[in-house]
Amino acid sequence: MAKKYYITTPIYYPSGNWHIGHCYTTVICDALARFHKMKGEEVFFLTGTDEHGQKVEKEAAKRGITPREFIDPLVAELKDMWRLLGVEYDRFLRTTDPDHVACVQHIYQKLYESGDIYKAEYTGYYCTPCEAFWTETQLKEGKCPDCGREVTLQKEESYFFRLSKYAPRLLRLYEEKPDFLRPRSRVNEMVNNFLKAGLADLSVSRTTVKWGIPLPFDQKHTAYVWIDALSNYVSALGYGTADDSLYRKFYPADLHMVGKEIVRFHAIIWPAILMALGEPLPEHIYGHGWLLIGGEKLSKSKENARPELTDPYALVKRYGADAVRYYLLREIPFGSDGEYTTERFLLRINADLSNDLGNLVSRTQAMIVQNFGVIPPRGKEEGPDGALIAMCEGLFERVDADMGALNAPEALAEIFAVIDRANKYIDETTPWLLAKDPSQRARLGAVLYNLAETVRLCCVMLRPFLPAATEKILKSFGCEDSADLTFGALKEGGPIEKLPPVFPRLDLKKELAEVEKLCAQAKAKADAPSPAAEKESEGPKPPVSFEDFRKLELKVGEVVACEKVKKSEKLLHETVKLGEELRSVVSGIAKYYTPEEMVGKKVVVVTNLKPVKLCGVLSEGMILCAEDGAGNLSLVSPERLVESGATVR
Ligand code: MSP
């Protein structure tokens, strides 16, 4: 039977405003999952969203909508981000999925019946952003020891999980199986900072949080979000249901990959719950490091995420998913933190993808197309051939060992060492000179075959990391389905095609400016007023100075084209002419005007609002409308004929 591999990412808070740090865990897991699939293993790769809790409840209330209305578009955004990045999961679990809800209730019921959950009164300090409780002694200067923010004292009736009972077994686990948690430094942290100090029982229910899973034995209480979230690792496979075949097949997980700030939940609380349930523990937990910016964790809630630099959508759109994947997988030393800068990101693309891989591919293709038109015969081995072939032949074992150690940067370094060797091989064998000498035709063929075969092998090995680019390259060598890892498997006489550069070389200065601009548009979107803020802005407004009024730029525009925005009932997308300039503008007026009616209309446009994207469409301005008491909109237009581009003041 094929070996199986079950890998999980933590499930994400549906927060929107994703930054590149959010992509880190999931891209690593995707590369690992693809690598294990490549090895012929049966893989189950789980990711999803963590949707309950006070934070979501509060955010939704602020906007005057239900938690579900708040979450659904954010979940869709996250899924879209994984799609863009080529993340191929086997299940995207939402903690609001009915099977997950039933499983969490099953877990609580079982633990209640076995006496591992009991009722008492809770007094503790709660950190809403971290969804974590702390005792007074755990606080740092009266603030949350994890994130440094304010905590609130809470006192309420609660159910507790007997975590204290499992401390000795957990300590034994770390003595007997030290690689249960990696890297090693995290074990010391868990053992010395938490386990040796003794564990207090854990409050696992709330009466104040309504947006949660009701406990089956006491509907006044909802499940503590961390127990709810952690249970996803078993609920996703049908644990505790009539059909638990996936659970029996894939559980225990080979790997829970998590960021280091949530290791405590995965390495102490979750194993204790599994012990109490009598279920096996995962094989390994890995607590990876963070992407930093200015030495601090990239974090949306600390507002240092600099969306103007780190918006994954903008980066993927401009440089492609593979460039972002490559950066994340290659640049951050695994297990440690790594500073994110746009320069390093761009340099990586240029140095490795454009120069090393891109040049090898285009030089090899150009010379084969020019001299043979098909893959030339392999010929006999001579000169530097042996050294190159030897490097190719041991490559899979080296990459496999690195991926076994979860070290993607090292695995990529191995593959790129071969690419580098092949580029040197070109310099050593000088095929452009061989091409000038008809007596060297067989040698030219052999050299070019060795190069093409090296490209094929490296691309087969790179597939889990760079799925889109390798597919293109392998296809151009006529071997998109190739999985053979032996040197020489490339068919002589096979087709070949010259591709345009897969990773065009970037002008760093220009790109730095471009990234700032693109990501600033993303930031503008993040800064766009929420419906609640808009509501707040209704009613009489305080006076503003003339200076402030003059900060607005208003112009007369002519709508020259208009269409409905797909997936939106409210929005129209207009192209507005402002003098010589054309602008893309999105307006919420589809209920009042048809696209046909809009074309030719003269309108007043606010032209210096920060651009935003609405339903994926860029809006570089706002068309002014008058709104009557019933909320109906009517366009504001100049009363006499005025040229488009005229200033409104
Ligand atoms: N919902 C919890 C996890 C529950 S798992 C049972 C959570 N969600 S999160 O959205 O805040 O984080 C998701 C993942 O993104 C975590 O692994 C976290 O460590 C990771 N990262 C968030 N910011 C990051 C960086 N700046 N760098 C690397 N990873 C980062 O935690």
DSSP letter string over 499-546?
A: PPPSSPPP-HHHHHHHHHHHHHHHHHHHHSPPHHHHHHT-S------H
Output the residue whose Cα is nearest ligand 1's atom 10: 12
DSSP annotation string for 292-311: EETTEE--TTTT-S-HHHH-
Instruction: Kindly tell me if the per-residue pLDDT of 535 is higher than 50.
Output: no
Distance of alpha carbon 349 from alpha carbon 354, whole angstroms: 6
Are the beta carbons of 40 and 2 closer than 8 angstroms? yes
Average pLDDT estimate for 528-545: 52
Place of tokens 């659904």: 72
Domain ranges of the chain: 4-288, 340-528, 543-635
Q: 580-595, pLDDT tens digit by residue? A: 888 999 998 998 999 9
Instruction: Kindly tell me if the per-residue pLDDT of 601 is higher than 70.
Output: yes
Q: 285-321, pLDDT tens digit by residue? A: 999 999 998 888 877 554 455 555 688 888 998 999 9
DSSP annotation string for 120-159: EEEEEEEETTTTEEE-GGG-BTTB-TTT----EEEEEEEE
Instruction: Kindly tell me if the per-residue pLDDT of 431 is higher than 60.
Output: yes
Instruction: Kindly tell me if the per-residue pLDDT of 200 is higher than 50.
Output: yes
Average pLDDT estimate for 450-466: 98
pLDDT of residue 530: 44
Third-level CATH fold of 543-635: OB fold (Dihydrolipoamide Acetyltransferase, E2P) (2.40.50)
Q: How many whole angstroms from 290 Cα to the centroid of ligand 1?
A: 9
Third-level CATH fold of 340-528: Isoleucyl-tRNA Synthetase; Domain 1 (1.10.730)
Residue 604 — very low, low, confident or very high, per pLDDT cuts 50/70/90?
A: very high
Q: 20-53, pLDDT tens digit by residue? A: 889 999 999 999 999 999 999 999 999 999 999 9
Task: Give the other-Cβ count within 10 Å of 15's Cβ.
Answer: 17
Distance of alpha carbon 51 from alpha carbon 70, whole angstroms: 10
Average pLDDT estimate for 141-156: 88
- Residue 372 Cβ contacting ligand 1 at under 6 Å: no
Task: Give the other-Cβ count within 10 Å of 629's Cβ.
Answer: 5
Distance of alpha carbon 606 from alpha carbon 556, whole angstroms: 9
Tokens of 535: 């509501």
Instruction: Kindly tell me if the per-residue pLDDT of 537 is higher than 50.
Output: no
Average pLDDT estimate for 93-110: 98
User: Highest-confidence range of 176-180, 183-187, 395-399, by mean pLDDT?
Assistant: 395-399
pLDDT of residue 126: 87
pLDDT of residue 617: 80
pLDDT of residue 409: 96
The minimum-distance atom of ligand 1 relative to the CA of 270 is 6
Task: Identify the helix (H) or strand (E) that includes residue 203.
Answer: strand 202-203
Q: How many whole angstroms from 219 Cα to the centroid of ligand 1?
A: 30
Average pLDDT estimate for 275-282: 98
Instruction: Kindly tell me if the per-residue pLDDT of 523 is higher than 70.
Output: no
Q: Coil, strand or helix: which one is 423?
A: helix
Average pLDDT estimate for 118-144: 87
Tokens of 278: 């009598």
Q: How many whole angstroms from 24 Cα to the centroid of ligand 1?
A: 9
Are the beta carbons of 264 and 193 closer than 8 angstroms? no
pLDDT of residue 522: 63
Residue 129 — very low, low, confident or very high, per pLDDT cuts 50/70/90?
A: confident
Q: What contacts 185, CB < 8 A, 6 or more positions away?
A: none
**What are the CA-CA distances from residue 338 to residues 28, 30, 332, 577 (Å)?**
15, 20, 5, 46
Mutate to test the pocket of ligand 1, among 262, 273, 304, 310 (most ligand atoms within 8 A of CB): 262
Average pLDDT estimate for 255-278: 97
Place of tokens 């090693």: 184
Average pLDDT estimate for 210-233: 97
pLDDT of residue 259: 95
| CATH architecture observed for domain 4-288 | 3-Layer(aba) Sandwich (3.40)
Range with the lowest mean pLDDT among 58-62, 348-352, 379-383?
58-62
Average pLDDT estimate for 551-560: 92
pLDDT of residue 18: 84
pLDDT of residue 24: 95
Are the beta carbons of 559 and 600 closer than 8 angstroms? yes
pLDDT of residue 306: 57
Q: Coil, strand or helix: which one is 242?
A: coil
Instruction: Kindly tell me if the per-residue pLDDT of 534 is higher than 60.
Output: no
Question: What average pLDDT does the structure give for the chain?
Answer: 91
Pick the closest to residue 488 from 366, 397, 392 (CA basis): 392
- b/e per residue 331-369 (b: at least 16 CB within 10 A): bbebbebbebebeebbebbbebbbbbbbbbbebbbebbe
pLDDT of residue 619: 86
- Residue 290 Cβ contacting ligand 1 at under 6 Å: yes
- Residue 364 Cβ contacting ligand 1 at under 6 Å: no
**What are the CA-CA distances from residue 572 to residues 294, 340, 615 (Å)?**
40, 38, 11
Output the residue whose Cα is nearest ligand 1's atom 12: 12
Average pLDDT estimate for 187-208: 91
The minimum-distance atom of ligand 1 relative to the CA of 292 is 26
Q: Which residue has the higher pLDDT, 339 or 411?
A: 411
The minimum-distance atom of ligand 1 relative to the CA of 13 is 10
pLDDT of residue 311: 84
Phi, psi of 645, rounded to the nearest 5 degrees: 100, -10
pLDDT of residue 283: 97
Q: How many whole angstroms from 10 Cα to the centroid of ligand 1?
A: 7
